[in-house]
């Protein structure tokens, strides 16, 4: 082999090494960018009761308390307001970046009111709208009274920040 051929082979090997290193550097850079973007995706958190899809539609007015328990499960709390009331309490929050604080996005209290015969008298899906407690089923804001005096502390309790 001549000296010229050996020099040419060494140059080819160096070019091949440079090309491989360039490819590895590009792959490493792409991986770093991917990890950085993955850290920017938000997280969602659900606390309390998770309402099964279509559950409220399965509870007609006049349904028994046992039917409600089968469809909805055990309530978060129970109260007695002119009959028994089952409350299912939930809160959904999110944070945009892993190290930031959570922000409450939605909080709900589903209330199922029973008459003296333990039959469903009324359904309500309470949440906050414009800073006031609002029933998303009847599209009304509850007035003051026994019902409101029970709902207000529940919303204050679940409104804390993590």
Cβ partners under 8 Å of residue 8, min gap 6: none
* Alpha carbon distance 48, 87 (integer Å): 11
| Domain residue extents for the chain | 43-160
The pTM for the full model equals 0.60
Per-residue pLDDT of the chain (162 residues), as tens digits, is 555 555 555 555 556 555 666 766 776 666 666 555 555 567 888 888 888 888 889 999 999 999 999 999 999 888 887 779 999 988 888 888 777 888 777 788 899 999 999 999 989 888 876 556 666 665 556 555 556 556 666 665 555 444
Cβ partners under 8 Å of residue 40, min gap 6: 96, 97
Number of Cβ atoms within 10 Å of the Cβ of 48: 14
Q: What residue spans of 103-145 are helical by DSSP H?
A: none
């Amino acid at each position: 082999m001549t000296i010229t051929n050996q020099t040419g082979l060494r140059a080819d090997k160096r070019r091949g090494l440079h090309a491989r290193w360039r490819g590895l550097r590009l792959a490493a850079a792409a991986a770093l960018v991917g990890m950085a973007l993955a850290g920017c995706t938000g997280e969602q958190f659900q606390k309390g009761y998770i309402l099964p899809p279509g559950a409220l539609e399965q509870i007609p007015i006049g349904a028994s308390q046992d039917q409600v328990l089968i469809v909805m499960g055990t309530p978060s709390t129970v109260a007695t307001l002119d009959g028994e009331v089952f409350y299912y309490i939930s809160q959904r929050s999110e944070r945009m970046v892993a190290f930031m604080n959570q922000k409450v996005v939605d909080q709900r209290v589903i209330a199922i009111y029973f008459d003296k015969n333990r039959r469903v008298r009324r359904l309500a899906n309470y949440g906050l709208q414009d800073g006031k407690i609002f029933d998303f089923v009847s599209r009304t804001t509850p007035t003051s009274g026994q019902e409101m005096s029970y709902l207000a502390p529940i919303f204050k309790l679940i409104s804390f920040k993590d």
